[in-house]
Structure 1
Amino acid sequence: MRGVRQESREARRVRRLERERRLAELLPRTPPATGPLVLRAGWGGRAAGAAFAAGMLLWGAEPGPGQSPGGWIVLAWAALVWAWLCCRMALWRITADADGVLVRRWLRPRRLPWDRIRTVEHRRDGALEFVAADGERVIAGAFAPPVLRRLPRLPATGQRAADRLALMARHPALRPPRAATGREAGLPLLVWSAVPLGLLVADWFPVG
Structure 2
Amino acid sequence: MTRQREPDWQPRSDEVQSDQVASYDAMREGCPIAYDGNDSWTVFGHADAVAVADDTATYSNAVSRHLQVPNGFDGAAHRDYRTMIGRYFTDDAIAGFEPTLRSICADLVTAVPRGVDVDLMAELAEPFANDTTCAFMAGRIRCVHRCGSGRRRTAARPSPSTARRWPRSPSSSTTTSAPNSTPDGDGPPPTRPVRCWRNGWTVDR
> TM-score when scaled to structure 2?
0.22
More strand per residue: 1
Higher relative contact order (CA 8 A, sep 6+): 1
More helix per residue: 1
